Amino acid sequence: MISQLEREVTFRFLRTRKNDGFLNVISIFSFIGISLGVAVLIIVMSVMNGFRTELITKIVGFNAHAVVQPGYKPLTYTEDTDLLKNIFSNDGEAVILNKDNTKGIFLKGYLENDFKKLQIARNEKFFGSKNLIDNTISVGKELSFNLNIDIGDTITVMSPAGIQTLVGTLPKQENFKIVSIFDSGLSDYNENIAYINLETLESFFNKNEEDRFIEFYFNDPKNIEIHKKNLTALFPDASVYSWSDMNKSLFSALKVERNVMFIILSLIIIVAAFNIISGLTILVKNKTRDIGILKSIGVSNKSIKKIFFLVGFFIGTSATLFGVVVGTLFSIYVESIRQFISNIFGISLFPEDIYILNSMPSEININSIITISLCSIFATILVSIYPASKASSLDAVKTLKYE
């Protein structure tokens, strides 16, 4: 417990005085350093959390949540309590030819009614017909720009599957009419993926119905590991891939980057916290006479230690709380702040072609804020112990000898 005397002396030492000029400067810089470190850490973690969530939303919205590829026998439909829908599909790699332009492409095939159920076809940025029949194709926005093609144009697609002719085996080529253009929100997908009818794809790549995949879509795609485990048990002879597996390297890189940023930015808090040692050491030096007087009237060493510890603890805690408020407010309005700075200085702080997203995302995580706050306060507690112990060990007789 903290006594009334300890509280009063602590707040008295915290008050600024003219003869404590240098001490006040150190205290102010310690406060600013810890506040800045906490605020920056919260902002960076919020932006990275938001970036990860937005990326997952776009990837999950564009891709199947899980794909089961056949092994030794054809696949059949199955049910799941969290299952939203499951549909047949297949894919293959091909080359698009348009005048002098060529482009490698990944073709995905769906039945006409199944294609209409996809999120990409129900997107407000989907333009054209959803009737994917015969030799029709749906291409991405970036692909249409790069090849200078539009809805209604006809393109030639070359398949690696060969056809026998008098002069030998030649790659199969077919003409496809562009009936729609989609925008997934991810430039890599828009540039490298196109959709055609499933039966047309099977004929184009010389595949059979037994080669078809089953794509699963769940109500809760974030809980994909449990769904993958259930699907693996249902299809022991098949290969099961989730959206997490297909983007594993990307999310692993994001996780590593997030952890490294947390460690690096935590050093700001640690360095600022160590300034408290300097401040408390100078405070002990300036208050040597006061310490001697307190001890001479019966104040225990334990109380002296507690007083100086509370001084450092108060500076660190108040700085942490201030940093939490600033960091949280900045995280909430980070996109508005980004737009304001971009408009004022005419620079792009979050280019879409690099970061995929067209706005700076932010997701405040309470657990992250609590963790950052506790780490900051814990660092403050550690650096306050030593100077407080030195203050309590001063000899009262020696401190008052020359007074």
pLDDT (mean) for 151-166: 81
Return d(Cα 368, Cα 324) in angstroms, integer: 11
Residues 6+ apart with CB under 8 A from 299: 5
pTM, two decimals, is: 0.71
pLDDT (mean) for 278-300: 74
Q: What is the pLDDT of residue 358?
A: 64
Return d(Cα 390, Cα 372) in angstroms, integer: 29
Question: pLDDT digits over 176-206, tens only?
Answer: 999 999 988 777 788 889 999 999 999 898 8
pLDDT (mean) for 228-254: 81
Q: What is the pLDDT of residue 322?
A: 92
Question: pLDDT digits over 214-224, tens only?
Answer: 888 888 777 78
What residue ranges do the domains of the chain occupy?
4-55+251-401, 83-218
**Higher pLDDT residue, 164 or 274?**
274
Return d(Cα 46, Cα 324) in angstroms, integer: 12
- Judge whether residue 22 has pLDDT over 60: no
Q: What is the pLDDT of residue 83?
A: 66
Q: What is the pLDDT of residue 75?
A: 62
- Judge whether residue 347 has pLDDT over 80: no
Residues 6+ apart with CB under 8 A from 61: 119, 120, 184, 185
Q: What is the pLDDT of residue 81?
A: 55
Question: pLDDT digits over 92-135, tens only?
Answer: 999 998 877 888 999 999 998 889 888 888 888 899 999 998 89
Residues 6+ apart with CB under 8 A from 107: 91, 92, 93, 94, 157, 193, 194, 195, 196, 201, 204
Question: pLDDT digits over 379-402, tens only?
Answer: 888 888 877 887 777 766 566 555
- Judge whether residue 30 has pLDDT over 60: yes
Residues 6+ apart with CB under 8 A from 106: 91, 92, 93, 192, 193, 194
Return d(Cα 351, Cα 362) in angstroms, integer: 16
Q: What is the pLDDT of residue 400?
A: 58
Which of 28, 17, 35, 4 is CA-nearest to residue 377? Answer: 35
Q: What is the pLDDT of residue 387?
A: 78
Q: What is the pLDDT of residue 107?
A: 93
Up-side HSE of residue 83: CA atoms within 13 Å toward CB? 15
Q: Are strands 66-69 and 239-242 parallel, antiparallel or unpaired?
A: antiparallel
**Cβ–Cβ < 8 Å for 67, 240:** yes
